[in-house]
Amino acid sequence: MRGSSAVGEVTEGAERPFAAMAHLTTLRAAVLRTAALRSPHTPRPASLATQRRHASTKHPKGFSPPTQDELEELRERTIDFTRREITPEVAQATDHDNEFPHAMWKKLGDAGLLGVTADEEYGGLSMGYQAHCVILEELSRASGSIGLSYAAHSQLCVNQIMLNGNDEQKKKYLPGLVSGDTIGALAMSEHSAGSDVVSMRMTAKPTDGGYHLNGTKMWITNGPDAGLVVVYAKTEPEKGSKGMTAFLVETPPGTQGFSVARKLDKLGMRGSNTGELLFDNVFVPSANILGTVNHGVKVLMEGLDLERLVLSAGPLGLMQAALDITLPYVHERKQFGVPLASNQFIQGKLADMYTKYRASSAYTYTIARAIDESYENPTIRTQDCAGAILYAAERATECGMDAIQCLGGMGYMSEMAAGRVMRDAKLYEIGAGTSEIRRMVIGRAFNKEYGLGR
């Protein structure tokens, strides 16, 4: 199963001749950058550039909806990357040691995967949300934790800056984030403000030339390693949701007043370093306000639906991983003289796992395609973005449990990846808004359509 995907087949180690790629634009060529295959810069035709004016606040400059062939090629290239760099041994070691393989960031950057929705002028691919889902799905298929760290960097940080940053902020921060020289994160949750983000207690008090941030952030993915963090704080606490501001906070080692209180030891997504961050009079210049003062909720909501949509691709990869583990095992392992796959109980589980994956995949990519194809005036339905991750996350946990059951005693052993897949999948029912919150969001979206307040 590692050699196949929902949209195409790949042969191990196969490379298409470079001559066959001559039609690819700069955007596509960037995806193909590897040590052995690098594409020269080729400018866009003037007519194409005119047709692709920046018409959307949700998509990068020069965006046009990708073709199915482009998405298939992107998937194949991402699979090629994971075969080389995120081997089963790397995935298991990342989980067992609870340490992110830091060399991976530059490799992801060199492969052109960290800035899929960023403008080309900053090193990005100028692609959209279908492409982002494809990459996250295949990275998560190889390692759920590496996929999660990738999503926190490329969606929660890079895309948030693309959606809300000014030209100076983009020029300053995006090149390093896209290349993998800087790790990005987003810090919103606190001990007493998880799903209820408006009740956060972190404050940002005005001072000469900027603000001093004080408070604690909890459960921050990439927090222990990040060099740049999108941080939400209260600039006018008495105003509640109308007194919140988003900041771009530089957090390299030695930043005065900033510290990582602890790296958290999690049930799953181990190796996707998650931490508790402390801010003690951390100075942030006014130039690093993301959006405008007291409009942090607008910044938050600007990307929240898209965050839910893209993150729904993580569970898709984990469902594929569950099938990758289970299918070979049940066809090779014999009980009572026949392969386990001959047992109708096992066949039923395989059917359920596959159907859950296909249904979840169809939901996610249908919504992503609708957003990409309506890029001039994007159609983004809150209930569909929340529904995609709600459905995929719960199905992924079920598939992880079924994988363990199909493997029997071996499924319960740490040396097998089935337990890791199940533990990783459970995170998606909790992080980025719990399943319960997603159901509330969907219900409230319908209430809004019918004129009800809640």
Active site residues: 307
CB 279 within 8 A of CB 223: no
Q: Which residue's entry shows tokens 């997603």?
A: 438
What is the 8-class DSSP label of residue 155?
Answer: I
Alpha-carbon distances, residue 308 vs 45, 86, 305, 364, 437 (angstroms):
35, 25, 5, 10, 12
Structure tokens belonging to residue 5: 């995907």
CB 244 within 8 A of CB 198: yes
Q: Of 270, 178, 188, 183, which is closest to residue 234 (Cα–Cα)? A: 188
Task: Provide the β-strand partners of residue 187.
Answer: 231
d(CA 86, CA 91): 6
Buried/exposed code over 382-420 (b: 16+ C-beta within 10 A; e: otherwise)? bbbbbbbbbbbbbbbbbbbbbbbebbeeebeeeebbbbb
Q: Of 208, 345, 375, 352, which is closest to residue 284 (Cα–Cα)? A: 208
Task: Provide the β-strand partners of residue 144.
Answer: none
d(CA 380, CA 367): 8
d(CA 58, CA 310): 13
d(CA 359, CA 31): 28
Q: Of 110, 103, 179, which is closest to residue 146 (Cα–Cα)? A: 103
Q: Of 154, 99, 112, which is closest to residue 27 (Cα–Cα)? A: 112
CB 179 within 8 A of CB 112: no
Residues 6+ apart with CB under 8 A from 281: 212, 213, 214, 257
Structure tokens belonging to residue 104: 């991976």
